[in-house]
Amino acid sequence: MATTRQKKKKKDKRVVIEACVYIQATFNNTIVTVTDMTGNCLCTSSSGALGFRGSKKSTPYAAQSTMSRVLKRAQEFGVQKAHVFIKGPGMGRESAIRSIGTTNISVSSITDITPIPHNGCRPKKIRHG
């Protein structure tokens, strides 16, 4: 029996001019995600995915190299403008932002979206004794 194979259509690369860059800098790792303006993920990477292990994942150098790798992939989508959103207290915050300047992507805004408690947890009961 002869079966006819259908040719798969080649998936067209999306062209995204303006994108959002999310940097999550924790004490243990730095995760960078690039999305389009509606929130669909274009590319993502982390310090651990680059091969940094243990305490080296949280270093500024690991965050810088993670950011440069993600931005190279984002430029394949045609990204020219970026809105940067930073979350977390990690060491890779500033170095990740500085590495955007090495590419030809222009930064429109930088926003800190670190969650801050407005009242926090209920404190412990006072010890009497």
Question: What are the residue boundaries of the structural domains of the chain, listed by start?
Answer: 18-112
Number of CB atoms found within 10 A of residue 10's CB? 6
The pLDDT value recorded for residue 43 is 95
- As a whole number, the mean pLDDT across the chain is 91
The pLDDT value recorded for residue 72 is 94
Q: Phi and psi for 102 in degrees, rounded to 5?
A: -75, -20
The pLDDT value recorded for residue 128 is 86
Q: What is the pLDDT of residues 1-39, one digit of tens each?
A: 666 777 776 667 788 899 999 999 999 999 999 999 999
Q: What is the pLDDT of residues 34-61, one digit of tens each?
A: 999 999 999 999 999 999 999 999 999 9
* C-alpha span between 17 and 22 (Å, rounded): 16
Q: What percent of the chain has pLDDT over 70?
A: 94
Task: Determine how β-strand 18-25 pairs with β-strand 81-87.
Answer: parallel
Whether 78 has a pLDDT exceeding 90, the answer reads yes
What pTM was computed for the model?
Answer: 0.83
Helical ranges in 4-118 per DSSP H: 60-75, 93-98
Whether 65 has a pLDDT exceeding 80, the answer reads yes
Each as own residue / partner, the long-range contacts of residues 115-123 (CB below 8 Å, 24 or more positions apart, any chain) are 115/87
The pLDDT value recorded for residue 29 is 95
The mean pLDDT value for 114-122 works out to: 90
The pLDDT value recorded for residue 80 is 94
Q: How would CATH label the architecture of 18-112? A: 2-Layer Sandwich (3.30)
